[in-house]
Amino acid sequence: MIEFIPQPLQTRVTANARIRRARRLPIPGEVSGALGMRIGAQDVIARAYPPKMRRALSLTRVIGVTEAEVPKRLLKQVGDPVEAREIIIAKPINFGVQRLVYRAPEAGQIAAIQGSWMILDIYGQPHDVPALYRGTIVHVEPRQSGEIEAQGALVQGAWGSSIPGQAAKEAVGVIKWLNKAQDWILDPESIEADARGAILIVGGGVTEASLQRAAEIQVGGIVVGSLAPELRQTALQLKFPLMVTEGFGFYPMSAPVYDLLTVLSGQEAALNGCYTPRGAAAARPELFVPLAVSKMLPSDAPREVERLEIAPLARVRGLCEPYLGLTGTLPEEFRLEWIMTDAGTALPAVQVEWQNTPGEKQWTPWSNLELIG
Amino acid sequence: MAESPTSILFADIGAAATKVGLLGLVAGQYRILGATRTPTTAAAPYHDVMVGVRQAIMQLQALTGRRLLDRQGDLIQPARADGDGADAFTAVASAAMPLRTAVIGLSRDYSVTGALRAVNSAYAFVEHTIAVDEESGRWGTTAQAGRAGGSSDAVEKLALLQPDVIIMVGGTDGGAVTPLLEMANIVAAIGAALDPTQRPPIIFAGNQDARSQVAERIGSLMELRAVDNVLPALDRLNPGPLQTELENIYRQQRVEKIPGLAQLTAWAPHGILTAADSFTRIAEYLAHKFQLRVLAIDLGAGATTLIHADEAQLKRAIFAEWSVGYGLAQLVDGVGMEKIMRWLPPSFEVGPVHAQLLNQALHPTVTPTRWHDLTALNAAGRELLIKATQLWQDDPALTLRDSDLILLTGAPLAQGSKPAALLLMLLDALDVRGIYSVAADTMGLAPALGAVASLNAEAAAQALESDCLVTWGTVFVPELAPRSGEPIVLNVQVQPARGGRLEAEIKYGSLELIPLGEGEKAQVELRGTGSVRWGKNGTVTGVKNNVFKREVQGGTAGLLIDARGRPLPFIENLERQRDKAQEWMWEAGA
């Protein structure tokens, strides 16, 4: 018997959690929320003004002057706004009869001039960061981020379709089941116009055609049990968030996720497709459904424990074959024992009663389980 | 001088798993008294690596019966008379994300190559390269015939990228300075356009004569770190100082910011080494002590590290994005499933293998329990190793073919793959020829023992040799040029010291596994036909007149004779190649 039982991995799937999430700008900008302010999911908490394009120019080359000449040929200086076609630098040619000029390709601002090099920022659209989580602003990092505390139902996913470093894929929409079979595969014909903006919940999987149809209809997002591995790249290219709850391959949505999402049908939810598996910015995809204000606990009430603890009869989920996507329970009195796997590896294991074999306990490697709930 | 600590607790905080070991004196010898492993807890919901470290230590307490933590969860240090606690603690870490770098230089074949070699040796990867002597590296178009010139796409990409570090290289020492000053203007302009909080540090590793003028242009805007030129002369690359500086920035920007590391640093006053630095010490130690050319490989969940060490030189490559853990998705995207499938028997289907690799990337601490799943992971491991060794392709001074010892550590061992299966993976993926030994770090602690060596070198060496390294056996890979009508290329005679005799004929294209247990020795004679050569220039210790005769060591796997030829022959037809892969597995006992 192994005396010390280490904490396993875990996934939160709960009807009532209190969470804190930082909403961060990609570049410094303005954080509009104030501490203690209540904020809606679609309210903008922060805004930045990234350039649409950054033009990098060698001023000596574009009009053929020496570096020393650049300052006297410049008609604009650092920080100056420029209109489209406005002249930035010019020099006389043909004995002063004509001028060789460089014009701004679009409206923008001179961001920097160093020696012979200039960076011209072309104006783009403001980048807004919505709150996404309806709640209260509890921390503000000026010019960078605001942190929101929110209460509600939380379903963490295994994989999300946002690409780290690129625009976040997020959506706020109504949870919509098109078919409540746990192993149903989304077909394009089922997605009708009323799915626009909704967060579709699909128990089994999706097809390439159904993803294309979902994009055409402009669904808000999709939460699906599993994703065929060859569709991963397609999902990454989608503009809307897609969250996978179990993994790659074909696995019906596990019972705790399915049950909770069934109860939440028709409610407004926020879907965050972020997936950064490690590092300081590690984050999992998640679906969050805020509680009605009347049901919320006051902010100073004890917070729900964010971590699940190992306990008798705790619910677990398998993380690899042959248990991937299955849920089970730990025995009332459980212990870790060394077992020899089919591959011949000695591993600490625990007895689990899996959902597909009720009443039967199977030794399962501890490292291949997570707590869920 | 203070006495060396005799009981040392050490930790390796990996990207996926945290390993902890306790080393102490047993009957006058340093031994590993116990080792444990838990998931790393740098990310949610813990955001504190100390949770995982303490969990692993608590497991270790249960395993050894020795109390190491006090009631507050602090380390009992030094060891008490009753045996509780440890004299010292040290740790290595590889849990941090690699640095994203951009390289801007004058010449692709010279200075930029030197810079890339430094980046490839550190926990870093290159997101963008500008080499001025390439079409894409030019500084935009020039005014011509009364028309103004245009902007530079390459610089614009750099300006939008926001890397963690920009590396500037170019010129030989004493050479022209002017092109570097223009480069400095570019970098300064990019920096000036960024918010001051987002400006990356710049490492200047070019012509030393340009340093002060580069500093004048950049220094007031951005943090500038000048190091020795990566190309001091046209015929000499010097990537070492740049590599060191990248490692410094990695430690400051990444390792020191791992959540919870401050507490760990308080326990380890000698500082936290990176796992690659620590493992490098192990490779160097083995190379010097046994006068071997060592190829050390760490297949980690977050990064893949290759080290080649001999008495004269040391080379390292870190594949920071692709790995057999978190980096499996990138590996699959990068090489494609077809390449991975070529290593798998026909019973494997591409869809389930693809799914399994992606699922392993989601949960790298998972331990597959079926032969089928481990085999699929090892197929991906082959492609990873092939890619990783390509990082060294531009270095003519490095010949992997002539390694005497291959040392493997990392995830595939922790996952429990059989030695023969991993031995075949190494043979398939690495073009190492001749006669060499293969050893494995079965406890997964060798990388951390490099850090232990800074506290007590003797303890680290003894623990490494007694407890960590397990010899898998000796491998024979002759160079073959088969002639028609000559199917038999080797006649083998093995006379184990314990008695008995074994003779075999090895056919061209086959593998032969001859059992010879760990610690056993045998006199081996390999008589080659005219088409057989051993090692580079046909020279390998123990070979005379094309006959190898020497005493060799056995191991967990035994003696493996690989007469498939090098480079490894692949059949173009994928199905037939997969039949062949099945044969290779059967022959190697994988």
pLDDT at position B245: 97
If asked whether residues B228 and B198 sit together in one domain, one would say yes
How far is the C-alpha of A253 from the C-alpha of A325, rounded, in Å?
A: 7
Separation between Cα atoms, residue B585 and residue B422, nearest integer Å: 11
What confidence tens digit (pLDDT) does each residue in B71-96 have?
999 999 999 998 899 999 999 999 89
In terms of CA atoms, which chain A residue is nearest residue B414?
A345
How distant, in Å, are the alpha carbons of B304, B348, B353, B579 from that of B340? 17, 11, 9, 14
Does residue B163 belong to any structural domain of this protein?
A: yes
| Same domain as B293, residue B237 | no
In this structure, what token pair is assigned to residue A97?
A: 């009869």
Compute the nearest-CA separation of B286 from chain A (Å): 28
The tokens for B383 are 């492609």
Reported ipTM: 0.92
Query: Looking at the domain assignment, is residue B461 inside a domain?
Result: yes
Vertex B56: Cα angle to B51 and B58 (nearest 5): 95
Regarding whether B548 and B495 lie in a shared domain, the answer is: yes
Of A27, A55, A320, the CB nearest to B366: A320
Does the residue B49 lie in any domain? yes
Q: Is residue B68 part of a domain?
A: yes
How close are the terminal C-alpha atoms of chain A, in Å?
27
Q: Is the pLDDT of residue A105 over 50?
A: yes
Which value, to the nearest 10 degrees, does the dihedral of the CA atoms of residues B136, B138, B144, B148 take?
A: 90
**Cα–Cα nearest to A249, from B347, B349, B358:** B358
CA distance B281 to B20: 19
Structural domains in chain B (count): 3
Decide: helix, strand or coil at residue B184.
Answer: helix
Mean pLDDT, rounded, for A278-301 = 78
Placement of tokens 């509890």 in the chain? A138
- Could you tell me the pLDDT band of residue B271, with boundaries at 50, 70 and 90? confident
Stretch (H or E) spanning A327: strand A327-329
Task: List the single residue in A with minimal CA-CA distance to B17.
Answer: A367
Which residues make Cβ contacts (< 8 Å) with residue B500, sequence separation at least 6?
A: none
Q: Do β-strands B202-204 and B294-299 pair in parallel, antiparallel, or remain unpaired?
A: unpaired
Q: Enumerate the residues of chain A whose CB falls inside 8 A of the CB of residue B359.
A: 247-249, 319-320, 324
What's residue B141's pLDDT?
A: 81
> Is some CB atom of chain B closer than 8 A to the CB atom of A362?
no
A293 in reach of chain B (CB within 8 A): no
**Domain containing residue B42:** 8-95
Q: How many helices (H) and strands (E) does chain A have?
A: 5, 27
Last residue of a domain, one of B74, B95, B116: B95
What is the structure's pLDDT at B1? 45
Residue B377 resides in a domain: no
Q: What is the mean pLDDT of residues B433-453?
A: 93
In a domain, B370, yes or no: no
Same domain (yes/no): B422, B539: yes
In a domain, B269, yes or no: no
pLDDT reading at A76 higher than 90:
yes
Would the CA dihedral through B564, B570, B576, B579 be positive or negative? positive
- With cut-offs at 50, 70 and 90, classify the pLDDT of residue B390: confident
Report yes or no on B497 lying in a domain: yes
Residues B68 and B105 placed together within one structural domain of the fold: no
Cross-strand pairs, B472:
none
Task: Please indicate if any CB of chain A lies within 8 Å of the CB of B334.
Answer: no
Coil, strand, or helix at residue B105? strand
- Residue A11 carries which side chain, given as an amino acid letter? T
Measure the CA–CA gap between B332 and B288, rounded to whole angstroms. Answer: 37
pLDDT, position B47: 87
Q: Are strands A145-156 and A13-24 parallel, antiparallel or unpaired?
A: antiparallel
Residue B415 CB partners (closer than 8 Å, separation 6+) = A345, B367, B368, B374, B377
The reply to whether A363 touches chain B by the CB within 8 Å rule is no
The overall average pLDDT reported for chain B is 91
DSSP state of B524: E
d(CA B221, CA B185): 11
Q: Which residue has the tokens 């939008």?
A: B160
pLDDT band at B535 (very low <50, low <70, confident <90, very high): low
Decide if A233 touches B, using CB distance below 8 A.
yes
Q: Are residues B122 and B60 in the same domain?
A: no
pLDDT score of A22 more than 50: yes
What CATH number is attached to the domain comprising B237? 3.40.50.2300
**Is any Cβ of chain A less than 8 angstroms from the Cβ of B336?**
no
B534 & B404 share domain: yes
Whose structure tokens read 């086959």? Answer: B510
Q: Model confidence at A229, in pLDDT bands (50, 70, 90)?
A: very high
Structure tokens at A243: 């969250």
- Across B30-34, B367-371, B531-535, B574-578, least confident range: B531-535
- The H or E element that residue A187 is part of is none
Cα A233 to chain centroid distance, Å, stands at 16
Domain co-membership, B31 together with B84: yes
Would you place residue B142 in the very low, low, confident or very high pLDDT band (cuts 50, 70, 90)? confident
Co-location of B51 and B193 in the same domain: no
Give the residue carrying structure tokens 């491991």: B381
Classify residue B85 as exposed, middle or buried by CB count within 10 Å of its CB (0-12, 13-18, 19+): buried
* Mean pLDDT computed over A81-86: 96
- In contact, A186 and A136? CB cutoff 8 Å: no
For residues B176 and B287, membership in a common domain is answered with no
